[in-house]
Each structure stands twice: as C-alpha cells, then as structure tokens.
Structure 1
Amino acid sequence: MFDTEKSAAAAWFRQLRDEIVAAFEALEASHDTGPFSDAAPGAFDVSETRRRSDDGSDAGGGLMSVMRGGRVFEKVGVNVSTVYGSLGERAQAAMAARKGIPGMAEDPRFWASGISLVAHMQNPHVPAVHMNTRMFWTPHAWWFGGGSDLNPCIEYDEDNAHFHATQKAHLDPHGPAHYPRLKAWADEYFFIPHRGRARGVGGIFMDDYCTGDWQADFALTQDIGRAFLPGFLPLVERRRTQDFNETDKDTQLIHRGLYAEYNLVYDRGTKFGLETGHDANAVLMSLPPLAKWV
C-alpha cells in the first residue's frame, strides 16, 4: 500500500534536485564580471549517503551534492534522500508527542523522502536561502512538509517582495488561503526565541500536512518546490555583481551565526536526521562555512 505514491514522491524530489543543481552550476559558469568572477567556476561534489539501521542493515540513503568556494556560492548543498526502517524509542516518543500518532510502539516502521537545500553566498548582498520538501509515511499516517525562506544579511525590500510574490503565485492555484497560512507558519517556525527575532525575512512553511487527499497534497508540495528557482534566481542575478566592503562581509558572518544557532538548537529536520541515524555530514550540510559571533 502506498508504494506508487512513495515512488512518485521520491522521483519528484530527485527531479527537483537535478534542476536546481543544473541551474546553480549555470550561474557559476555565467558569472564573468564583478566580485569573485576571476575565480574558477564552482561545481558540485556529489557523493552517496547511506543510512544504517540499528542492526547494521541497509536503510536507504541518497545523494549529497555540495559546492564550496565558487564564484557565486561560498557553500551550497542540495541533498536528496529516501530512507526507511524502524524508528527508535526516542523518535517514536517524539512522533507520538508531536503528531499524536497511535500504535508507533507496536509498529514503528517508517519511510521518508525529500530534498533539502541551503545556500550561503559569496557576495553579502545576495541573500542566503533555504528550501526543503519531504514526504513521511508510517503504517498509521502519512504527511508532507517543507517550504523555503530567504535569509538576507543586507535586506532589500524589492528582493523580499519578489520572493514572497513568487511563492504566493505558485500557491494561489491551490486556494487563496494557502499562502497567508503558510507564510504565518514560516514566521512562527523560523523564529529564534533566545534572540527574540526571526532567522530571516520568512517565506512559506508547512509540516505534518495531510488533508486526506494525497494527490492534492502532493501537487501543493510540488508547487512549493517549483516556486524556488523563479523566486531566488532573479535575486542572485540582481545582486551578484554588486561591490561590497569589509563591513558588509562582517554583517554577513554575524548573520550566519544566527543561522547556525537556529539549525543546531531548533530545526526539526536536523534533530530527526541525527536521531534516526542518517549521515551526519548530510544532516549538518546546512551549516555555513564561516560565521562569527559578537
């Protein structure tokens, strides 16, 4: 049961990954003027990741694609994975507490697939960005999650407006209530309580999303993914040739500290990946290459 749906979701996440990797490498190749244009164009280093179950048996895996030190991207990772097996006691307890799913102790099997992306940019005028979409299945329930959010260290109102407008345009065909609800969800989720501020300028986010109509929920998830490139690439094109100074770079490094704090302390995906035994390097791919704290 659900094998067809799981295969379709995993194939879509891989397709989206391939499109994004190709677009980012094209950006690197085309950056021939402005800061960092004299460097060699970056390319993704691709490696397989594996998850092992508690008894050492194969439990799925995926691809980790990371580019470091490019012309446009200082570090960017685009990971895709499909993992399965049985949830350990801690993960079972977390699922039961957070989602109210009964029966996990009796049948703790799970399957999860998704794409996760984080980009940290060379030029501090270009915003950092995060995107992920995923599907999770157990014998007791299934749901989708994910979204994308913008993390500029130097904010431009027109950039923020374009990013949000693109997301709204992709969500509106699914119903006018989706964008405001998912925007508010992102504002709440990407908030850093100990700093009393948001991680960035928001975007869209959903979790534990299941209306009971798999096709409709999958279509919404796909359009969240489709909104990413048209929402983000124009911002890169607009800002990647701008000059910057040491103060701008310092601002960027301090803002990256916020990003690192959030991902290590609050992010659910980071916690779940480590608790279920997925490749730690892939789970922590989101961390910036350099950051600082005042």
Structure 2
Amino acid sequence: MSWSFYIKQFKSYLQLERSLAPNSVEAYVQDVVKLEQFLTLSGSDIGPLKVKDSDIRDLLEYIHELGMSAYSQARIVSGIKSFYKYLVFEGDIDKDPSELIEAPKLGRKLPDTLNVQEIDTLLAAIDMSTAEGPRNRAMLETLYSSGLRVSELVNLQLNCVLDDIGFLRVIGKGNKERLVPIGREALKHLNIYVDHVRCHLDIKKGHEHFVFLNRRGAQLTRVMIFTIIKNLALRIGLNKKISPHTFRHSFATHLIEGGADLRAVQEMLGHESITTTEIYTHLDRDYLTQIIRDFHPRS
C-alpha cells in the first residue's frame, strides 16, 4: 500500500476515534507527509511499513540543519510517533521504528533562528532617513525573502534581478546557478534602493554591476553585512547571536513550519542533496512562486 493510503487511514483514525480538532488532525498529517517527502528526496523508494529508525533520524538531522526550532522538531517527532503507534495498533507493523526516537529538549533553542515578530522588529528598526537605510532594508528583505547566502547577496548583480517574473538569478556554491522567487515586499524595497539611492552614487570602476554598494560606490563586503545586522540586533535589544545566515535559516524554517514542500525549500536554498544520494529535482517557476505566496510570512 502507498503512503497516501496509510495517511488517509491515519487521518480518519484521528478524526473519528480520537476526535481531534481539524487543525490538530492536519498538523499530525503534515508531520507524516514531511517524512514521506524527505524519503522521496533522499532516493529511498520505500513505503511507510519499511521505514527504519535511521530514516527518521536522518529527517530530524536535516530539519535541524535547516535551523528549525526545537519546538517544531518536537512537533514533527510527536506526529510521526503517533502515526507509527497507530500502525502498530492496527497490526500493520510489529515494531515501531520511532519507539527509540527522542524529541529535542525544548529548553535547547537554536540561537540563529528568528521568529516573524523578531524579523519585523529588526526591519522596522532600520533608519530609512539615512543614506544607508533603504539599502540595508532592501538587503535584509532580500535575505529573508529568498533565503540567500551572504556571499550570494554581496555578489548579486543588477541583471540577475528579474523584475518581470519576480525572481533572482543566483550564483551559488560551485558557481552553480538557480532561480529563486523574491517576494513583492522585498522587490519593492530593492527597486526603491536601486532607483532612488544607488543611482546617485559615484560607482567605482569594476563595481557597476553589483546591486549592493557602500558609500564609496564599491561592492559591499561580507563583514559589512554582519556588522549591519549585529548593530540592528543591539538597537532593538535582541538577546540572540545572529548573522546573515540567521535570515536564511529563518526563511527555510518559516516555510517548512507553514507546510511548504521540503523539495521546494531544498531547491530555493540551493541544496543539491539532503543526503549523500545527490538527488536533485528541479521544480518549475510557477510552483516555487506559489510556495512563497502561500507559506512565506512576508509574501
């Protein structure tokens, strides 16, 4: 039997026998769906009855690396455990592969993930009356909207901002190119910076194509991005150690927690594989755009 068959039966069990609220039922189902998606991505063509504890551990390691909060990891573990307890109860399996899986301790928080309110507060703290304000707002909006690495942000070029389709052409690790959606809010601030601030800079020769420039008209450095974010965190009294990568982790975490397809998040991050199997599936632009619209907090 397929995943869809057992998930459908599990959903009916939650609704009819456990009488859970619709939101709770959907949360449990999505936890199991994430396991199915992960196994598909990693090349493990196995049904739910063949899953081993190592498969579940691999999923948890992956979502931890993405920066998902301990609470959300524990939520997924709970859903998967409920699913396999159900399969044991129904007699579909003899041994529960999730039995020895432990949820992360809720007190152990990841320091480099922000919630939506913290991101909004950081962005609102940028002084838009200064010469650097519109640039900094555009940079951080872009980091969070598209999940870029800091190196990808500082190397972003003007001809890689594809306004007409709402995408960025990003050159990632290994000089590999990918298309990533950019949200309307981020694109708005990006255009404000380019059209009303950047155009007035005395741009140094050889730096004409870079989107983000310093006051002297030269390409921004990675260190400068770190400094800008650190100063903003101090300004709002944020008691977390954050960096540009925090926005990338938050981008992935908020999409996955919202219910986005792991495969879509993987592609937008530019991860070639989530295991050593080197599985890489390209998705069409319309689908990635829909993922951002449906699941990104600032879409």
TM range (shorter): under 0.3
Structure scoring higher RCO (CA < 8 A, sep ≥ 6) equals 2
**TM-score scaled to structure 1, two decimals?**
0.25
Decide which structure has the larger Cα Rg and report it.
2
Normalising to structure 2: TM-score of the pair? Answer: 0.25
Structure with more helix by fraction: 2
